[in-house]
Amino acid sequence: MARPQIYPKADAKSQWFQTRYPGATMNANVGVIHTTEGTDWPSYGGGASAPTLTAKPDFKAKKLLFRQHFPIDKSARALVNLRGGTETNTLNAFQIELTGTCDPSTHAKWTKAGYAHIYWPEAPDWALRGLGELFAWLDKEHGIPLKCSVKFLPYPKSYGSAGGQRLSARAWQGYYGWLGHQHVPENSHGDPGNFPIAKVLAYAKGTTPPKTPTPSKPTSRIAALSSAVKPGGRHSQVRDLQQLLIKAGYGPIKGAVTDFYGVNTQGAVARFHDRNPKYKSIGLVRDPRIGPSGFVALQKMAGRR
């Protein structure tokens, strides 16, 4: 009997990308949780960096709205998947992006500005119940186990791999259950922070959820620039660069966020240099390449410490 490929509560028309990006056929047995770091439906570059599903809160109705982008058993595209390296997108991974943030500084900024949003480490119970229903359906129809054996670190400690949370290629290949973007090899992103996975799994199982622990105090998260981050290149840190540019007021960046340093990202970097000429390469009228010192300055402008 064929397994159902569309979540019954999902809109599979508004942003359906399967026709443009057919992907690889697989049998989903692991779930990867992301956060969008935005408050609206992302464009995903027309599907180039889309997950399987996106969940967006409807605050008035106190429920989650879902948009599905690919069938459950087709590979999504929200992870870094290096050619010749560890299979990530294509290794039986169902992926969900949660609209909102895992970043405490972004949460504070949006709260101050009056933006309605979910800070996922402290998500309301109605949102966690909505995810629990999805997880229960995925367990029943696709066998993604309602278990998690990894620790979700708070953002920004979860960024990169210094926190020890990133799985090895072998551990990733043998993992079944739920984890976050912060755990996937070949990736550097720290979402979804200290996500309350135990609560979601409890709701999915119909048991009493545990109390939410007190959030950990944020730590320093100024990151060094990778030499691979350059115009025309691809690198996971480009996504971070794009988000920083947008947060600091140098956006919008059409098609963001992706790992590709394209013309739109170059234009935003050039705008950054126009306003901060001391970080510009000497002799260039228009400088589209971010440098190490400029990248540090940009992070501080976006609120990092």
Which architecture, in CATH terms, is 10-205?
3-Layer(aba) Sandwich (3.40)
Strand (E) or helix (H) holding 173: helix 169-173
10-11 and 93-98 strand pairing: unpaired
Query: What are the contacts of 283-288 at 24+ separation with CB within 8 A?
Result: 288/231
Flag whether pLDDT at 67 surpasses 90: yes
**Percentage of the chain modeled with pLDDT above 70:** 96
Instruction: State the DSSP string of 212-250.
Output: PPPPPPP-----PPPTT--TT-B-THHHHHHHHHHHTT-
Q: Which two tokens stand for residue 293?
A: 């010192």
The contacts of residue 288 (CB under 8 Å, 6+ apart) are: 231, 266, 267, 269, 270
**CB of 258 closer than 8 Å to CB of 45:** yes
- CA–CA separation, 255 and 277 (whole Å): 26
* Average of per-residue pLDDT values in the chain: 93
Query: What does the pLDDT read at residue 1?
Result: 52
* Mean pLDDT for the stretch of residues 163-174: 94
pTM of the entire predicted model: 0.70
27-39 pLDDT, tens digit each: 999 999 999 999 9
Residue 215 predicted with pLDDT over 80: no
Strands 177-180 and 93-98: what pairing?
A: unpaired
Tokens of 186: 């070949």
pLDDT-derived band at 210, boundaries 50, 70, 90: confident
Q: What is the pLDDT of residue 2?
A: 85
Confidence of residue 214 (pLDDT cuts 50, 70, 90): low
- 225: tokens are 């620039």
Question: Residue ranges per domain, the chain?
Answer: 10-205, 237-301
- Residue 218 above 90 pLDDT? no
